[in-house]
Structure 1
Amino acid sequence: MAAVPDLPLAAAPTAPLSPAPPACEEPVPAGDLDEVTEAVLGHVARISAFPVDRLRADQPLIDELGFDSLMLTDLFTSLKRQWPRWRFDESAADRPTAGRIAALIATGSADAADAAVPVQRDGHDGAAHAEDAHGDGAPPQAPAAPAAAPLPEEHTRIECFPEVAAHGERIATFDRTGLRNPYFLVHEGGMTDTTVIDGRELLSFSGYNYLGMATHPQVNEAAKRAIDACGTSASASRLLSGSRPLHLELEAELADLLGCEAAVTLANGHATNVTVIGHLVGPGDLVIHDSLAHDSILQGCKLSGATRRPFPHNDAAALDAVLGQVRHQYRRVLVVIEGVYSMDGDIADLPALIEVKHRHGALLMIDEAHSIGTIGATGRGVGEHFGIDRPAVDLWSGTLSKALASCGGYVAGRREVVEYLRYTVPGFVYSAGMTPADTAASLTALRLLRAEPQRVARLAENAALFVRLARAAGVDIGDSHDTPVVPCIVGDSLKTLRLAEALFQRGISVNPILYPAVPEEMARLRFFITADHTPEQIRDAVAALEQELGRLAAADAGDPADAGEAPDPADAPDPADAARAA
């Protein structure tokens, strides 16, 4: 695969690097190789959760020990702290092993010697030397302090941080490729099966208004009434003066929907996972999460101070094996998964994961951001999908911004646990409550979900139609099944950008997901299917996708006839006409 520019989504994590020593210095060995290897293995054990006596110096950290980019960053940062003069070589991150890294440090090939520690002299010896030097017993004059070298701007100005400069370079990539920046496009109204950008209506697969509730007249009217009754803000923490009757109604009905004893809502979905995970576990604990877990889960792990370890995606047997080796080392072990995975559209193997959880005395938390309202016969999520006894899962979390039509998050479980969180979890206690409008919108959407289960059925039919047509067209949709999240895996960030632009010109809005948000070979478009899409719209979209993928393939093969110009946007089907035709 040809190399592609580093295209923007999020900066790839990198270990902070100390300034390199002057080039004229000769590399100084850091010490005995065996001692350095032992120290490196100690860091690997701490980060990976494997006992150090089960590690080998030749084990690939990524392939065998499950290291991801954040774990490698943690490792290299720790090594830099122990050996400050180690000049990090990016080749160390290419299929690294503890032995290879230790060799780079120990041999001095990366100038990795420990920083010199000043020798403390005995005070009497110092005085004697001074008397000998001056001959009159007078204390020596302190040498003048050398003039401090000016600090580099990358340490004192945010705009000069290397990562800020690198981000600017990634954004500039769009100008060099001649492609439109696909991010921060302004959508000029509500987003359902269609959207409006720059005054032009497009068929939309770029928003997760799965059930059409975010634009439903009853939901909108409820939000307006809440503003009239309670204003635009809760104006305080819920713990103090920020609670409103709407909050209590929403929490009671969420708990009932989820089959739990109680629930609490927070003002932001991402922050819900961050603050709950960060609050419940800490040093001495282990958080082990699916390798495709959402950023909010990773940030919660980082905040907690617990050891973090991913397990292979949706692989209960691999999770079982890891816990069999390491469970005894930790006080608490929290397993965190998603109900529906937001990039791949597959469903967690919840029954098998619950068995593993019980076998090892672990806790289980499920993020239902993309599964509540979308799977299960009546939209009650992955628990309903599998017929799970709800207390078998310790924490059910999710967001209110997708099927439930507003903005916020929730966590549900046993009453004692939820009450503890209401009084102690920082993201709830030290934040204003959900706005009255958001609360009323989600409450009304939840009630519509119960009153109109046909919305869930229609969503399932639309998703199944898209998947069936895409597979028949030879589109690589990965493992997506039975969910409204369907990727089109292209495997090249630049091609993915070109595909998104070609579809945009044909009147279809769909988001590109690029490296480093996903590995380069997994760069993709991500289609969100909704209950409001019509079968005709779905057929038109898949047909256009098949044609544009064919043009990309022809361009790669050097066939100018098949890789001709994309159709004029004026010739694209009118989304409104497609809806009427269906």
Structure 2
Amino acid sequence: MDTTWELYEMFQAFLKAPSYHLALEAFLMVWVLWLIFHKSYKPERLELTEKEKEELIAEWKPEPLVPDSSKNHYALKPRVVSGALGKKITVNGTECLNMGTHNYLGLIDSPEIKEAAVKGLRKYGVGSCGPRGFYGTVDVHLDLEAQLAEFMGVEEAILYSYGFSCMPSAIPAYAKRGDVIFCDEGVSFPIQKGLSASRSQIVFFKHNNVEDLERLLLEQDDLDKKNPKKAKVTRRFLVIEGLYMNYGDVCPLIELLELKKRFKVRLFIDESCSFGVLGKNGRGVTEHFNIPVEDVDLISACLDYAIGSYGGFCCGSSYVVDHQRLSGLGYCFSASLPPLQSIVASVAIDVLKSKPELVEKLQKNARFAHKELQRLTKLLVCGDEVSPVKHLRLAADRAEAQQLLEQIVDHMQEEGVALTVARYIDEEEHLVPPPSIRLIVSAILDEEEISSVVSLLEKNSDTLL
């Protein structure tokens, strides 16, 4: 009875409905049915004749798998090293004094490190075979993290299996879309990858130019005042290197810290080239300027250079560093550092702590080399005197300078000195530095060897330039 009454009411409502309303509903119903049963458009397939197919195949030119390279391209003339990369190395069969690799403290040839490496290899094998969160954490990883934190005077450190992945993982772990990152335009390629991965707004300031950074920070401050609601949720970061790989100069940390406190930005420093190099004990740029390490929000460094191992680490307060254990992609998803390399790094840091004279000798050699290099009249010496990384540049067109510097390096190798022309990924670098010979000073060199290298450079540059 109820169902009949409901049908009756619906019929009465249908009779009372406006005619235009019924017409619209009928139209929509017909349209839906048409869309359901209408066959989709199928374009007519064009069949080619055999002649047309052959003509198209004959006209097609595949793109090369690799770009064309000149016969003189450096990649076609590799320098093959035989043996360990110590003070002396054998390059293409020629024994050379090593001035081309970043073995700042000469620890690669350390007998105690070699002995520890052999013991570690026998106990742990060659790899970890898993990320830190998936059975990849070994006791020596935790020991090394604690050791690094204690050495740097911070609360906590986090270990990465690849030095290149430190900054590319750390930066996007904190900076996100909508944030602003102020960065020195001279930073190395790994940092640039981290900036790109963050998807933040990147603002580059001129290399080591505090005035230019202040100008950009003031501009951002004006924008924040115009839109306080957006400014409230926008985080600001400052990313620099302690000692710049591509220039060999030290950052003006004291002035940068003044701007950090004034404009309330978070400061990240990559100390890959300054860890184990600057400061009385090799603790980096903060010790070099006698700055409390707590004033820096995050410090990163790779273990490839001064320490003679590989991998890298970030360190700072526990509140900051611990965030990377779930947000640092290189930490979460990469196989952890081989335990063998953790042991090597740990013993190397013990050597660094027990032998501060290594750092003193390195800085003395760097200053002596800088003074000796001033004898060069055809090459411009770039880099701070305390830096073990020196760049020798030439005032000429980029292509011409590159070719001439390659010739100098080739002649130096023939005469028993291993140097290298700095390499960059031109298509991907934010700012490609001028061509240069990169000369690396180490603590195991003596003054006589450094002087002889400079004399050979002077002779070859005067002959070829």
Length-normalised TM-score, structure 1: 0.65
What do the CA deviations read for 1:62-82 (whole angstroms, capped 9, x no partner)?
xxxxxxxxxxxxxxxxxxxxx
How much does 1:232 deviate? 1.3
CA contact (8 A) 1:192 1:532 kept: no
Unaligned runs of 5+ in 2: 1-26, 28-37, 225-229, 396-400
Q: Tell me by how many angstroms 1:430 deviates.
A: 1.1
Equivalents in 1 of 2:383, 2:321: separation in Å? 34
Q: 2:147 aligns with which of 253, 271, 274?
A: 253
Are residues 546 and 424 of structure 1, via their aligned partners in 2, closer, same or farther at CA, if it must alter by over 3 Å?
Answer: same
Q: Distance in 1 between matches of 2:143 and 2:88?
A: 32
State the secondary structure of the residue aligned to 1:503.
helix
Q: Which residue of 1 aligns with 2:72?
A: 174
Aligned to 1:465: 368
Give the match for residue 227 of structure 1: 121
2:394 to 490, 495, 516: 490
Q: Distance in 2 between matches of 1:482 and 1:147?
A: 73
* Pairing of 1:84-233 with structure 2 (within 5 A): 143-144=43-44, 160=63, 165-166=66-67, 169-170=68-69, 172-174=70-72, 181=75, 184-233=78-127
Aligned ranges 1:499-510 → 2 under 5 Å: 499-510=408-419
Structural mapping, 1:45-56, within 5 Å? none
Counterpart mapping for 1:17-56 below 5 A: none
2: distance between equivalents of 1:253 and 1:183?
42
Please give the residue correspondences for 1:178-577 in structure 2 after superposition, counting only pairs within 5 Å: 181=75, 184-327=78-221, 328=224, 331-474=234-377, 475-491=379-395, 492-513=401-422, 522-553=434-465
Q: Secondary structure at the match of 2:82?
A: coil
Deviations 1:94-126 (A, max 9, x none): xxxxxxxxxxxxxxxxxxxxxxxxxxxxxx9xx
Q: Please tell me the residue identity of whatever aligns with 2:315.
A: A
- Aligned partner of 1:495: which letter? L
CA contact (8 A) 2:132 2:331 kept: yes
- Structure number, greater radius of gyration: 2
Distance in 2 between residues matched to 1:388 and 1:268, nearest whole Å? 28
Report the alpha carbon displacement of residue 198 of structure 1 after superposing the two structures with TM: 2.7
User: Residues 6-54 of structure 1, C-alpha deviation per residue, up to 9 Å, x if partnerless?
Assistant: xxxxxxxxxxxxxxxxxxxxxxxxxxxxxxxxxxxxxxxxxxxxxxxxx
SS at match of 1:282: coil
* Cα distance, 1:201–1:244 mapped onto 2, change above 3 Å: same
Deviation, 1:334, is: 1.4
The AA in structure 1 aligned to 2:72 is F
Shift of 1:192: 2.2
User: CA shift at 1:263, angstroms?
Assistant: 0.2
User: 1:434-493 deviations in whole A, cap 9, x for unaligned?
Assistant: 101110000000010010011111111111111101113334112432110011112411
8 A contact 1:493–1:514 mirrored in 2? no
Q: Which moved more, 1:183-192 or 1:515-524?
A: 515-524
Question: What corresponds to 1:61 in structure 2?
Answer: none
CA distance in 2: counterparts of 1:482 and 1:498, whole angstroms: 28
CA distance in 1, matches of 2:168, 2:269: 13
Asked whether the 8 Å contact 1:490–1:525 carries over to 2, the reply is: no
Which letter maps to 1:174?
N
Cα distance in 1 for residues equivalent to 2:39 and 2:353 = 87
Separation (CA, whole Å) in 1 of partners of 2:250 and 2:442: 18
User: 1:143: Cα distance to partner?
Assistant: 4.9
**In the aligned structure 1, how far is the partner of 2:192 from the partner of 2:433?**
22
Question: In structure 2, what is the Cα distance between the partners aligned to 1:227 and 1:551?
Answer: 49
Q: Distance in 1 between matches of 2:433 and 2:174?
A: 36
Q: Is the 8 Å Cα contact of residues 378 and 453 (structure 1) preserved in structure 2?
A: yes
Question: For the structure 1 residues 202 and 479, does the alpha-carbon distance in structure 2 shift closer, same or farther, using more than 3 Å as the test?
Answer: closer
Equivalent in the alignment of 1:30: none
Query: How far did 1:424 drift?
Result: 2.8
Paired residues of 2:166 and 2:314 also in contact (CA < 8 A):
yes
Q: State the distance in 2 between where 1:277 and 1:142 align.
A: 50
- What code does the residue aligned with 1:506 have? E
CA–CA distance in structure 1, aligned partners of residues 381 and 133 of structure 2: 45
SS in 1 for 2:408: helix
CA distance in 2, matches of 1:324, 1:188: 54
- Distance in structure 1 (CA, Å) of the matches to 2:449 and 2:122: 38
How far does the alpha carbon of each residue in 1:271-330 deviate from its partner, in whole angstroms, 9 at most, with x for none? 111111122111101122111101111111111111112110111221111011125265
| Counterpart Cα distance in 2 of 1:142 and 1:369 | 61
**Cα RMSD for the two superposed structures:** 2.8
Identity of paired residues, percent? Answer: 26
Deviations 1:360-419 (A, max 9, x none): 111110000000111111111101000111111100000000111111010001112222
Aligned to 2:3: none
The 3-state SS of whatever aligns with 1:220 is helix
Distance in 2 (alpha carbons) for counterparts of 1:395 and 1:443: 21
Taking structure 1 as reference, are residues 182 and 196 closer, same or farther at Cα in structure 2, changes over 3 Å only? farther
With over 3 angstroms needed to count, the CA separation of the structure-2 counterparts of 1:460 and 1:199, relative to structure 1, is same
User: SS at 1:270's partner residue?
Assistant: helix
- Please state how far the C-alpha of 1:520 moved relative to its aligned partner: 8.1
Contact 2:208 2:252 in 1 (8 A): yes
Whether the aligned pair in 2 keeps the contact of 1:515 and 1:523 (CA below 8 Å) is no
Distance in 2 separating the partners of 1:221 and 1:529: 26
| CA offset digits 1:239-297 (Å, max 9, x no partner) | 23111221111111111221211001100011111111122111101122111101111
Q: Which amino acid aligns with 1:311?
A: F
Cα distance 1:173–1:520, how it changes in 2: closer, same or farther (>3 A)?
A: farther
What is the TM-score with the length of structure 2 in the denominator? 0.81
Match of 2:144, SS?
Answer: helix
**Worse-superposed segment, 518-527 or 493-502:** 518-527
Answer yes or no: is the 8 Å Cα contact 2:409–2:420 preserved in 1: yes
